[in-house]
Chains A and B, each alone.
Chain A
């Protein structure tokens, strides 16, 4: 804490050496302690009885990994104690003025989760592979939506219309695939629908300078109205030709799909899921390593500066919002062609808003946002599976988890997030 001596003249080009008092962040220790306390209350207070049977393999697997059966009570207690010790350690780390390494937090999360699963599935079999597989599957539309959100917001347009883009994509993919018999065309139609929704957002946000959040919310209402209307008056009138049950086939990737656990979880999916993998990588690479990304980020951070180097801000925004719509729209096809095969009213059920949460939780970064989407998918699927085997935690609380986590995230408890500086601000010369 040495104060800079203002008296000493320094060369003017040198960096300004203001004395910095290192701000210690107590957020991590506090958060870990809350979870550790939860572990103690649940795992020890409501001690589990019986054994937990983790099943890793399915009967069809090429390699088989033996099941792991543990005594639920003692194991959960041990893990709770480990969690408490780690939480205490995090306090010690911060007291010494150092930061808690993200890996430390990750290990803590793994310990907590292992303890939770052991405790919650006591006396039952826990299909571990199915748990992860479901998490990946459920997160796919969230990943598409989040990518759409990331691109839009990086370009400076808040994309609350993800929900509408997903829903529009779902509707059009079902309609076009049924009408033409081609699921490929269905996928294309989904992307086009997303773009059309984006056009409304772009027109009102960029040209007419309407508050972007307002436009987004209203668009979601509009698309809900349109798809409900279309469903009742068009699709339902002739479901055989306009809303036929069509699902994309699984395309297991040779060799990779035979790896135990990882294979079925990651490499035995429909084309939409593989598109999602590619999209995440492409958006990440594009945003941070290409001319396109540099310009998108410039426009979202400081549009005036971008303008002065000859970048057409509003055109860049317009096309990137459209691209965002195409990606999110494609995610809409997952609801129809990728899973149930037909369109039903409001089938996206607010997933677009969760995707928006993933964008913020993921700090406007495509990789982090994808991880956030996976976390949310995992929470949902955990609820599904615990619901089947009978869980001591009410399913509603697991369903709440993504939303609670997001509130913690925006409240800055999970790390500071910084939106693109010009996010949500229209650009007027």
Chain B
């Protein structure tokens, strides 16, 4: 087929005036527009919007609100009061469960929830980095669950099969976990490179395969099952391979969190400074151009998936060596594989973004449990809020429309790309 000689969208013959050419005077305006129209404000508003929807759900399902709304027209103030009470109480619990519990006697026990949040965030950050790396290279890795299961299982198996003193056992187990996740995800990259198999389908399928594989191994004596037990559960992790508490045993946070922050730095270096990351990004943005420029696209898919799987495998390591040290059963991934997708999306696949998104969702989860215990609101509200945040963030025009924000000068990146594609077609 012939190429576009004259495209459907206009391609002016004369050099187009570039956005930045307007000179230094409008520089400040531009920054302002970037902030107002772009990422940060939309992100904040998306989170706000999701919380509002959550509040509506809390209000309509609250028994007290239901009771007083029966006579809403007689005394509307009762209803509003009940709503305020229900929603306010719920979000207060959320805060107390996630950041600081004002009901505790001293500061040291008051920040226990925050420490808990850090601990819950840890696997989300690991997982989020892995999924984010996939996004940057143009791959949609839905296989977090499988990579966590395999990575965690390898780490655990190494830990109890080769007992070693601390920290040797720990290091071996961590490396094993990374390798496990890397192999399981690298398989996806290999299949894509070899056969063009779509990674979305393959990763979903590998989740189930990993789950059944681990289930089988957990009930097979001599494999992952604890000796002398009939339960489908692994042995406990020897202390030489456990991730130790970071700030003493009264806090849930372990050294895994430090590892997660280190992983964020590694991810930053990889994507923003290294030559490998440059090639990953080139493949992600335009695989054809990358191939033409001598970048081995297939090899990048394999490397990229393997490294992504290594990051996700660390989430499995965290689950086995820090969270379930008493032994794990087949559901130890705890849905982190899927939550990690929302973390990567909210964090826009940027290192700092993933860190913040991981902390936010960690806070939501750890606060959600208190909300359930104290206010009787199902913890699933967290899932709702989390997915809504991601949906809103993905659709800036919707958020702008809801809050009546002005349209930014440039079309959203995705739309622009779609336009360019159409023009080319």
Contact = CB atoms under 8 A, between A and B. Distances in A.
Direct contact of A and B (CB under 8 A): yes
Contacts of A234: 61
23 contacts: A208-B394, A210-B395, A213-B200, A217-B142, A217-B338, A218-B345, A218-B390, A221-B383, A221-B386, A222-B391, A229-B380, A232-B378, A233-B61, A357-B201, A396-B213, A400-B212, A410-B201, A411-B195, A411-B202, A412-B196, A425-B421, A428-B418, A428-B419
B381 interface: yes
Contacts of B387: 218-219, 221-222, 225
Interface stretch (B21-29, B97-105, B203-211, B276-284): B203-211
Contact of A221 (B195, B342, B418): B342
B422 interface: yes
B204 A222 contact: no
A399 B212 contact: yes
B204 A356 contact: yes
Interface in B315-364: 338, 341-342, 345
Given A225-B381, A356-B204, A404-B205, A397 B212 contact: yes
Nearest to B393: A210
Contact of B394 (A214, A221, A400, A406): A214
Interface string B175-217: 0000000000000000100111110111011101100110110
A218 B412 CA distance: 20
A331 interface: no
A215 interface: yes
Interface residues of B, number: 53
A406 B204 CA distance: 10
B259 interface: no
A392 interface: no
Contact of B380 (A214, A232, A403): A232
Contacts of B212: 396-397, 399-400
Given A221-B338, A356-B201, A357-B205, 12 more contacts: A219-B387, A225-B383, A229-B57, A233-B376, A353-B208, A360-B198, A396-B212, A396-B215, A407-B205, A410-B195, A410-B198, A410-B201
B8 to A, nearest CB: 8
B388 interface: yes
Contacts of B140: 211, 213-214
Interface in B386-409: 386-388, 390-391, 394-395, 397-398
A407 B202 contact: yes
B108 interface: no
Contact of B414 (A210, A228, A229, A429): A210
Given A214-B345, A221-B383, A224-B383, A403 B391 contact: no
B80 to A, nearest CB: 21
- Give the one of B142, B205, B345, B398 with max A CB within 10 A: B205
A387 interface: no
A304 B204 contact: no
B213 A400 contact: yes
B394 A204 contact: yes
A229 B205 contact: no
A154 B398 CA distance: 27
A107 to B, nearest CB: 27
A268 B261 CA distance: 60
Contacts of B425: 304
Question: Chain B: interface secondary structure?
Answer: helix
Given A218-B391, A410-B197, A394 B204 contact: no
Contact of B395 (A204, A356, A412): A204
Interface in A370-418: 394, 396-397, 399-400, 403-404, 406-407, 410-413
Contacts of B57: 229
A429 B383 contact: no
B205 A406 contact: yes
A94 B63 CA distance: 70
A229 B391 contact: no
A44 B416 CA distance: 62
Contacts of B410: none
Contacts of A217: 142, 338, 341
B13 interface: no
B378 A229 contact: yes
A215 B394 contact: yes
A234 B380 CA distance: 13
B305 to A, nearest CB: 14
A411 B194 CA distance: 8
Contacts of A357: 201, 204-205
A411 B201 CA distance: 10
A250 to B, nearest CB: 31
B382 interface: yes
Contacts of A37: none
Contacts of A200: 391
A400 B341 contact: no
Contacts of B216: 394, 396-397
A99 to B, nearest CB: 20
B201 A406 contact: yes
Interface string B201-242: 110111011001101100010000000000000000000000
Contacts of B384: 222, 225-226, 229
Contacts of A353: 204, 208
Contacts of A29: none
Contact of A412 (B195, B338, B345, B394): B195
A194 interface: no
Given A229-B381, A426-B418, A407 B197 contact: yes
B69 to A, nearest CB: 15
B415 interface: yes
A279 interface: no
B302 to A, nearest CB: 15
A350 interface: yes
- Give the one of A160, A215, A219, A396 with max B CB within 10 A: A396
A113 B38 CA distance: 58
A36 B259 CA distance: 48
A214 B392 CA distance: 12
A407 B206 contact: yes
Contacts of A427: 422
B172 interface: no
Contact of B209 (A160, A225, A228, A404): A404
A275 to B, nearest CB: 27
Contacts of B202: 407, 410-411
A304 B415 contact: no
A130 B382 CA distance: 42
A367 interface: no
B377 interface: yes
Interface string A222-245: 101110110011100100000000
Contacts of A404: 205, 209
B391 A215 contact: yes
A86 B198 CA distance: 31
A429 B209 contact: no
* 4 A-B pairs closest in CB distance: A225-B383, A208-B395, A228-B380, A222-B387
A82 B197 CA distance: 32
